[in-house]
Amino acid sequence: IDFSVWDYDLGGAWGGLHYYTNRPENMTVVDSVLNIIVREENYMGYNYTSARMKTKLSWKYGRFEALIDLPETTGFVPAFWLLPADNMYGWWPKSGEIDIMEHVGYDMGNIHGTVHTKSFNHLMNTQKGNSLYINNVNTKFHTYSIEWYPNQIKYFVDNIHYYTFKNKM
DSSP 48-88: EEE--EEES---SSEEEEEEE-----SS---EEEE--SS-T
Q: Which of 40, 65, 102, 147 is catalytic?
A: 102
CA distance 89 to 117: 10
- Identify any residues that bridge with 114 across adjacent strands, giving them in sequence order: 99, 129
CA distance 93 to 81: 13
97 is catalytic: yes
Which amino acid is residue 40, in one-letter code? E
With beta carbons less than 8 A apart as the criterion, state whether 64 and 100 touch: yes
- Identify any residues that bridge with 116 across adjacent strands, giving them in sequence order: 97
CA distance 99 to 81: 4
Q: Are strands 33-36 and 27-30 parallel, antiparallel or unpaired?
A: antiparallel
Q: Which of 41, 65, 72, 97 is catalytic?
A: 97
Catalytic residue annotation: 97, 102
